Structures are given as structure tokens and as C-alpha cells.
Amino acid sequence: MRALRVGLIGDRDDSVVAHRAIPQALALAADASGIPVEWEWVGTDTIGDGKTLHAFDALWCVPASPYRDMDGALTAIRYAREAGVPFLGTCGGFQHAVVEYARHALGWADAEHAETAPDAARPVIIPLSCGLVEVRDNVHLKSGSRIADIYGKTSVEEGYHCNYGLGSGFRDAIADHPLHVVAVDDQDDVRALELDNHPYFIVTLFQHERAALQGICPPLVKTFVQVAGDLRIGRAA
């Protein structure tokens, strides 16, 4: 069986905890699923028009923004969303998935991330009122959602390293869209989104991949690998 190819969209920095955790999470998912996995770091400043992304079976937009090239990250996210490529986004990946959807699905061309455009007229990602740097917190998963099915429960505790979250207006704007809220914290602030009518598109503000550093296979990563593997087999049939 040819190894599944996963593109890690982001600018690798081994001092970032999540960047050390992600390869371990994929290795654990490969063992748990029986699907061999290879991963490749794809710097945001190397993506260009996105044609090189076609070589990957799945994409994961990783933490640690601002990225060297925000447009590169948005190109990768849009490609995954529109082409039905299995996609995970964590922390910065969540934030940039929101920007991409706002610009290209909602038609908000001026949608911005306050980290890179603090004076923007329409920031869809803004500073959190209380930072989530190296903390763990409760996450409540929407009953019947895919993420709840994957975890097998509707309440979990996960870790964060994050100072930015969803801005006002976006949550209401997607009420009738296939992208919808599937996880909140104790204060009802959005912590995860998933896309209907897509093989696998889940983005979380929390970094579930960190479980791999304790030898635990993150459920979202295992399912990500399984779905990507099933899709590849289906295309080859």
C-alpha cells in the first residue's frame, strides 16, 4: 500500500510544541488505522498558485501564525474546502479557515485577521478577551455532530496555545451555511467548526494533537487518516 501523503501547511519551527506533536500524532494514527502515512512540511511561502498541493491526499493547516505568507495558507485551505480534500486546521489553522471562508464563501473580501491587520474594518479573528496560552479548558461538543461522534462524547478537556478567536458577526453569518459551530467552551465561545457535504473538514482552536506527546492517538487525527485512506482507495477502484 502506498503511504498516504499529508501536507502540513505552515512554517516549521521545532520550538513550537504543536509542531513537535503533529508528526507523532500522525505516526500514532498510522499505527492505529493500519494506513502508512508520510508527511511533508509545506512552507506557506512555497504554495503559490497551489498546484503542488495536488500531490497530497490530505492537508493540515498547523499552529504558529502569523505565517510567512498568509495568502499561501488561504490558498491551501480554499483548495481543500472546494476540492473535497480531507482537512484539519488547529489553532492558526482554525483562524485562517475562518478568514478563507469569510472571503470566498460569504463574499467578505475585506475579512481579515487582527494579528496581521489590527486596524482592519472587518476582523473576523480578534484577540481573545482572556488568552489561552498553555492552558487546558472544557470543550462542549454539539450532540450529533461529526466531532462528537469521533470523540464518542459531548464534553472533553483540551489544551491551547492561543491569543485569537472568532470575531463578532461571523457566527450569525454562517447560520444557514454548511460550515457550522460544533464546539464551544463554558462561556459559549466557539472552539470548533466543521463543514457539511465534505469528506472531512474540521477546524479547532484547541490543539488536540498535543495528546500524542503522552502517547495518546488523537481521535480527530485517526479519523482524518482513515477518511483520507478510504478516499484514496475509492479513487483507485
Whether 54 shows a pLDDT value over 90: the answer reads: yes
- Mean predicted lDDT score pLDDT of the chain: 96
Q: Which helix (H) or strand (E) holds 53?
A: none
Give the count of alpha carbons within 13 A of 114, CB side only.
Answer: 14
User: What's the pLDDT score for residue 168?
Assistant: 84
Q: State residue 10 phi and psi, 5-degree precision.
A: 160, 175
Partners of residue 192 on adjacent β-strands:
183, 204
Whether 35 shows a pLDDT value over 80: the answer reads: yes
Q: Is the peptide bond before 66 cis (omega within 30 degrees of 0)?
A: yes
Single-letter amino acid, residue 23: P
pLDDT, mean of residues 41-53: 97
Higher pLDDT, 83 or 131: 83
DSSP for 142-204, written as a single string: PTTSHHHHHHTSSEEEEEEEEEEEEPTTHHHHTTTSSEEEEEE-TT--EEEEEESSSSSEEEE
CA distances for 179 relative to 64, 108, 136, 194, 198, angstroms:
23, 15, 25, 6, 10
pLDDT, mean of residues 30-34: 97
Q: Which residues, 6+ apart, have CB-to-CB distance to 79 below 8 Å?
A: 50, 53, 59, 85
User: What's the pLDDT score for residue 130?
Assistant: 77
User: What's the pLDDT score for residue 44?
Assistant: 98
61, 27 in Cβ contact below 8 A?
no
Confidence of residue 50 (pLDDT cuts 50, 70, 90): very high
Q: What grid cell was written down for 52? A: 503542488
Q: What grid cell was written down for 213? A: 506527546
User: What's the pLDDT score for residue 132?
Assistant: 86
Query: What's the angle, vertex CA 17, arms to CA 16 and CA 23, rounded to 5?
Result: 100
Tell me the C-alpha distance between 33 and 27, whole Å: 10
Whether 213 shows a pLDDT value over 90: the answer reads: yes
Place of cell 472571503: 103
Confidence of residue 237 (pLDDT cuts 50, 70, 90): low
User: E-strand spans in the chain?
Assistant: 4-9, 37-42, 58-61, 87-90, 111-113, 122-141, 155-166, 179-184, 190-195, 201-204
Whether 80 shows a pLDDT value over 90: the answer reads: yes
Whether 92 shows a pLDDT value over 70: the answer reads: yes
pLDDT tens readout for residues 125-164: 999 977 888 889 999 999 999 999 999 999 999 999 999 9
89, 63 in Cβ contact below 8 A?
no
User: What's the pLDDT score for residue 190?
Assistant: 97
Q: State residue 125 phi and psi, 5-degree precision.
A: -125, 125
Confidence of residue 8 (pLDDT cuts 50, 70, 90): very high
